[in-house]
Structure 1
């Protein structure tokens, strides 16, 4: 094989005349260039470590402090108040060299003073980042304290990606009484009178007996750990789950809705892979700007970026493990039942997009058939975790299978070259969007590697998408990566007129390497595939763009777009199921170090009161008043969740402590077993500087979605795109006769339009038109 020949740097043979040594200068040159690249990365990381280690000061500030101290000493003044003299007494230097000793003492004192100033600045920055009152102030009414705080926060120098990490505050442990009060308030609209009384008694009994004991242990952990929630959340919610992660945990992201930059599959793969590796380079060099709360200067924790690439979830009998390696110089590729290792660097140089396209085309043109047992091997990652763990130990712990599995797991990421066409196309664009979502969520159950941190799917018609594993990070982190990838692909890398990648090709590149397997016939692959197929066939996905209006119309009403959508979902669910349910909305806690998510319980007393009033035919003015109360309540719940005063993560950690102590709590057991029949999440657009939707309105992101959390519930993901559009992803299970994703999608659309009509009564004059005001507006937008 070509790559094997190039890997040999020298050869020697023993002859009667002696040793005949033959050097391959090309191979030696590649080794040298790879080493140079490796050392450049090390130097860059060391430099970044110094810069972020002294943030918010700068390394050059040390020189300023030294010069200032020496200048004052030259003027025969002692700025150290005798400390320099004491340092001189302890230096192991000859007393005859008095001038040199004085200089060294001044340098030591200056360095200590500089470090003290850094610690003081960092402490002040942590205090500034711990201030969250700005979030609770009314729009347009900013207090003097907040104005001064913002000016101070903006006065720092340009930070690196991880510069704020050590200055972020730790997640606080809420008072147990406050958590229980908010919990009882959240379940009040879902319980009858006797049920609520019983739950109140359980909560009071828990608080007066076991609760305070568990709380003490939790506060002790909060003092010791960086984040008292995140490690337990990752382990017990994700890694210890023994059910399939496909559909149940993994989620997906889609391509542009209207645009496919090229119809050439290999070219789209070339640009996509290049853009992802450019993002990895930015992460490694910490050149990405720290992510901030949208519309503010407030930084968010960047810890989740560390495991974005070169990461795999490996199965175990009791718990899985996240494994992360140093940068890989290859990606793993799947095509028609074959696995390949594709090297994306050569002699320390990242291949250009045209060269990666060339290599991908070689894979597409490769006529070799799959080896026995190879084609559906990926089904092991889609089924139950215990059989996969046992298979891994039995068949993948040594030999050729281990080497090939290592190549997949150590790869930067996984790429599937799908032989299907997807996207909003043909005579049934709505149905094709649904099939597109299902394809990204589970595919054929064996043509993705669900254990990888993320897998890229490139379809035959040039459409793309990704499937992400959930344990290592949450959706906003992956969305940030995906936004960069799509924008870089379309607006920076670009394509030639005939749809190919730009650049020149070195045709001497070694062929992509086929991974070899020795898979016995009596394996667990068939069983895992059957479990995964049954799960996939049960998922009902519906994706639809809501074009009637967007956040532009909503914000004119002085209402939070997220609150508007969440209350609309409550109205839609009430119409769909005839009642209310426990509702999960994901909120981030990345204002705190290593923060992940918190739950906003969107079904509140106020939202239920509004829905009942609207459906009960009460007056429009009363309904509008109740809606605004519900919107204000929702915004306050969201703020509480973001600032560490949520309900569910606190109760979850108390439950974990109770299990460690071996004590049972009827209250916690009941709370943790309550089903989330409506699970919702908003996908934010975070990099608006990359997406100019005004000048490029066709480059609209479809966002992404996830599977249903409850067997009899809905999963709803939405992305607010620009001013005039909201994209929804709805999922449920066919096995439940009470749910229907398409029916619920219709209810969502109608609820949005009905609430807007309620809040803008002047549009009712147009109601004589059979299409209605919202649909009339839709025609204007289209």
Structure 2
């Protein structure tokens, strides 16, 4: 029985039309020119007028809410992921970067991989038995049970490319499931590793034996197959076309089928070079380092790709459409704790006497496919050169200091990000912060609009109004900005934010074949959805961090992981944009965090002085 039914989670609410339209205007006013805003105000008024198109669409959404477990889920999934035509690496797929491993010999990395696969199989057993303990909300409104459905897609789904829209394929387990297998990528080739043989799950010793065989097979010079995995790094429409070309040959169809039905991928990467800073490791996880390194040693459509580098650069790259970052964190934390907590069982276990050799997947490649591969390789190289990544550990203070000020660490960091952007660029921009709506059936996320008018007032006081505003006033403004951020967070996590609602209204108009309402053609709506700052908090209890790319060409991706005494930031942008620079953004971010801390200490001294008088 699913956690949804067991806990009787309620359906996602539908906010009132008036509330959403009022909030939309409030969120956009300070991001628009006066002329733009006046135009938008009239359009919104018309849309929300009694008996108008807005009311008609709202009533259709209310019907939809009655008939579906979650009224926005399909619309959101298509809009956020499946309709998006950009390549998955960097643009869509986030990565978790594991602590740097110290492998002294090649066998060490294979031992690590065997141990990791063992952990995956343990976790999969929990999932198959629906034995995973239910998650409860933390942070704001803590303690509510959360929908667990996303976990059950970790190892059972696949993103199939389509010419206009991808499909998220869920594998339903049949009565007689076939032996489960994972795919091991090694030197740009793919191998089938059966993890169940003769109804028995392979132990760690067997897994290591099989991995050693795979490495030998990949090294054998007899057959160096082309790096077919590169095709999955291309734009989605291009990959859909290449896949249909591959499908003409039965050999390729069989290989694709094995990859598409596997539990996950384990990518055994070659060493990538001498310098393995946090920033370098983040980049290598996101794109494999391109064609010359491990860029072809991937299959981006698969939700979980565990990367084990010979040089100790390890982590997981995930296709984001089936689940959110927090689900990825819970899974990877389980695996890392499993590996620390359960000693490697390589010596004790008895081996299956004769293990059949793993199978190398074959490809029949025509000149047309070679041409498509060359094209994909070029595009991946461009993406690799374009990514401007900066991973920074801020050690001056962490979330404990922020909590002592009686402030929410998440809201505080969001205000610091607003300050950093304003310092760099002198203006506020539409900001996305993902907020989980897993309190509801099939809940995924909505958006916290962190670029609030209150945050703008504070950042202006800290930059433009340095001399004219007193520290006490700045402190009040900071508190105001944090309160506004917290209020919007609560709206979002309780299903009352505006982004999903506006999306629902837009999509239902499309379904009803109504001409696109003016509100969705208006410049303000386009600006509101240009998330130049795309942010999310991905906290971990194990030493690792998350990273991802920007969602627009002139934007930043800013992922942060607040720890008790430090905060880890992964900031990304694109070199090709003349407006952005990750190092500059990090510099402004650090400066802002120090200024905000100083504001607290100045305020304490000021209060002491006033008390003495």
Residues 571, 611 of structure 1: 8 Å contact kept: yes
Q: Does 1:294 align with 2:138?
A: yes
Following TM superposition, by how much is the alpha carbon of 1:725 offset from its aligned partner in structure 2, in angstroms?
1.8
**Equivalent in the alignment of 2:263:** 412
Residue of structure 2 aligned with 1:602, choices 416, 438, 450 = 450
Residues 253, 705 of structure 1: 8 Å contact kept: yes
Q: Does 1:681 align with 2:525?
A: no
Following TM superposition, by how much is the alpha carbon of 1:190 offset from its aligned partner in structure 2, in angstroms?
1.4
**Equivalent in the alignment of 1:145:** none
SS of the counterpart of 2:521?
helix
Following TM superposition, by how much is the alpha carbon of 1:369 offset from its aligned partner in structure 2, in angstroms?
3.8
**Equivalent in the alignment of 1:221:** 64
- Please provide the CA RMSD for this pair: 2.2
Q: Does 1:250 align with 2:93?
A: yes
Following TM superposition, by how much is the alpha carbon of 1:762 offset from its aligned partner in structure 2, in angstroms?
7.3
Measure, in 2, the Cα distance between the counterparts of 1:214 and 1:163.
29
Aligned 1:187-202 pairs, distance under 5 A: 187-202=28-43
Measure, in 2, the Cα distance between the counterparts of 1:487 and 1:246.
27
Q: Does 1:516 align with 2:368?
A: no
Q: Does 1:487 align with 2:315?
A: no
**Structure 2 residues not aligned, in runs of 5+:** 607-613
**Equivalent in the alignment of 2:192:** 341
**Structure 1 residues not aligned, in runs of 5+:** 1-48, 53-160, 686-690, 692-699, 766-782
**Equivalent in the alignment of 1:92:** none
Residues 114, 211 of structure 2: 8 Å contact kept: yes
Which stretch shows the higher mean deviation, 242-251 or 434-443? 242-251
Following TM superposition, by how much is the alpha carbon of 1:677 offset from its aligned partner in structure 2, in angstroms?
0.7
Deviations 1:122-153 (A, max 9, x none): xxxxxxxxxxxxxxxxxxxxxxxxxxxxxxxx
SS of the counterpart of 2:368?
coil
Aligned 1:455-470 pairs, distance under 5 A: 455-470=305-320
Deviations 1:436-489 (A, max 9, x none): 111111112322100001211100033311111111111111111111111111
Residue of structure 2 aligned with 1:230, choices 55, 58, 73 = 73
Question: TM-score, normalised on structure 1?
Answer: 0.71
Question: TM-score, normalised on structure 2?
Answer: 0.90
Following TM superposition, by how much is the alpha carbon of 1:750 offset from its aligned partner in structure 2, in angstroms?
1.6
Measure, in 2, the Cα distance between the counterparts of 1:599 and 1:645.
10
Residue of structure 2 aligned with 1:614, choices 462, 465, 487 = 462
Aligned CA distance change for structure 1 residues 354 and 643 (closer, same or farther; 3 Å): same
Aligned 1:617-632 pairs, distance under 5 A: 617=466, 618-632=469-483
Deviations 1:175-219 (A, max 9, x none): 111001111111122123232222211111111232111111111
**Equivalent in the alignment of 1:323:** 169
**Equivalent in the alignment of 1:645:** 496
Following TM superposition, by how much is the alpha carbon of 1:261 offset from its aligned partner in structure 2, in angstroms?
8.4
Following TM superposition, by how much is the alpha carbon of 1:407 offset from its aligned partner in structure 2, in angstroms?
1.0
SS of the counterpart of 2:267?
strand
SS of the counterpart of 1:704?
strand
Residues 244, 383 of structure 1: 8 Å contact kept: yes
**Equivalent in the alignment of 2:24:** 183
Higher relative contact order (CA 8 A, sep 6+): 2
Deviations 1:599-646 (A, max 9, x none): 000011111111111221211100011111111110000000000110
Residue of structure 2 aligned with 1:532, choices 372, 380, 396 = 380
Aligned 1:346-495 pairs, distance under 5 A: 346-366=197-217, 367-369=219-221, 371=223, 374-421=225-272, 432-443=277-288, 444=290, 445-492=295-342, 494-495=343-344
Residues 135, 146 of structure 2: 8 Å contact kept: yes
Residues 285, 315 of structure 2: 8 Å contact kept: yes
Which stretch shows the higher mean deviation, 218-227 or 347-356? 347-356
Residues 338, 370 of structure 1: 8 Å contact kept: no
Aligned CA distance change for structure 1 residues 525 and 371 (closer, same or farther; 3 Å): farther
Which stretch shows the higher mean deviation, 303-312 or 177-186? 303-312
SS of the counterpart of 1:540?
strand
Following TM superposition, by how much is the alpha carbon of 1:388 offset from its aligned partner in structure 2, in angstroms?
2.1
Measure, in 1, the Cα distance between the counterparts of 2:104 and 2:265.
21
Residue of structure 1 aligned with 2:545, choices 690, 703, 712 = 703
Residue of structure 1 aligned with 2:583, choices 727, 742, 764 = 742
Residues 357, 501 of structure 1: 8 Å contact kept: no
Residues 262, 495 of structure 1: 8 Å contact kept: no
Residues 162, 290 of structure 1: 8 Å contact kept: no
Following TM superposition, by how much is the alpha carbon of 1:233 offset from its aligned partner in structure 2, in angstroms?
1.2
Measure, in 2, the Cα distance between the counterparts of 1:385 and 1:256.
32
Superposed structure 1 runs of 4+ greater than 3 Å apart: 161-165, 259-263, 369-372, 500-507, 762-765
Following TM superposition, by how much is the alpha carbon of 1:673 offset from its aligned partner in structure 2, in angstroms?
2.2
Residue of structure 1 aligned with 2:155, choices 283, 306, 309 = 309
Following TM superposition, by how much is the alpha carbon of 1:746 offset from its aligned partner in structure 2, in angstroms?
1.6
Residues 583, 676 of structure 1: 8 Å contact kept: yes
Aligned residue-pair number: 580
Residue of structure 1 aligned with 2:487, choices 636, 643, 649 = 636
Measure, in 1, the Cα distance between the counterparts of 2:121 and 2:589.
38
Q: Does 1:551 align with 2:402?
A: no
Measure, in 2, the Cα distance between the counterparts of 1:357 and 1:235.
40
Measure, in 2, the Cα distance between the counterparts of 1:196 and 1:385.
36
Following TM superposition, by how much is the alpha carbon of 1:666 offset from its aligned partner in structure 2, in angstroms?
2.2
